[in-house]
Amino acid sequence: MFHVTERLLLRPAWPEDADALFGGIADEGVVRNLARAPWPYLPKHAREFVAMTREQRVPNFLITLPGEQGSTIIGSIGFGETETGIELGYWIARPYWGKSYATEAGRGLIEIARLLGYERLEAGHFLDNPASGRVLRKLGFRPTGKVAKRHSCGRGEDVDCALYQLELGADQSVAPPMAA
């Protein structure tokens, strides 16, 4: 599955993407904000990630910036299954922070969620990463008012995580683009 946004191409990971993926995520400032990525993040972790078999109902995409020389991998975004539903998760490589790429990729993923028939999405961010909370609110996610302990493999400990939900009913729409 592929998805095109105004500036981005969301596409599956391929084995030949391992080195470029490693170059973007092997940054403690990125990994510390993720639940499942280990630290230190090693080349073997990138190879394992691109080799994973994905279920069509819970896709994961590389976020790429198309260009004349091909495309540049700037992050990843996708769905995961939780005990209570479907969760949206993402990361953006540090050189691309602050350029609204996470919000744009998130809008694309919400469109895919609707196509897949999801009625609700979940998301969360560690309390010491308020930038992700701002992205989630731009996407229309609403805070649940709950904070839960969530294990961060990168930190090696449980961390407080603010929880969010997005209702995808027929009368709901993705929040309109906001100025950067």
26-75, pLDDT tens digit by residue? 999 999 999 999 999 999 999 999 999 988 999 999 999 998 777 899 99
Amino acid code (one letter) for 50 = V
Q: Say what the pLDDT of residue 179 is.
A: 45
User: Are 51 and 44 contacting, i.e. CB atoms less than 8 angstroms apart?
Assistant: no
Please count the structural domains in the chain. Answer: 1
Quote the domain boundaries for residue 79: 3-167
b/e per residue 90-129 (b: at least 16 CB within 10 A): bbbbeebeeebbbbbbbbbbbebbbeeebeebbbbbbeeb
Matching residue, tokens 């609700």: 120
What is the tens place of the pLDDT at every residue in 76-94?
999 999 999 999 999 999 9
- Domain contains 175: no
- Domain contains 34: yes
What is the tens place of the pLDDT at every residue in 107-149?
999 999 999 999 999 999 999 999 999 999 999 999 999 999 9
Write down the pTM of the prediction: 0.91
- Domain contains 174: no
DSSP letter at 125 equals E
Residue 11 binned pLDDT confidence (cut-offs 50, 70, 90): very high
Q: Say what the pLDDT of residue 169 is.
A: 80
- Domain contains 152: yes
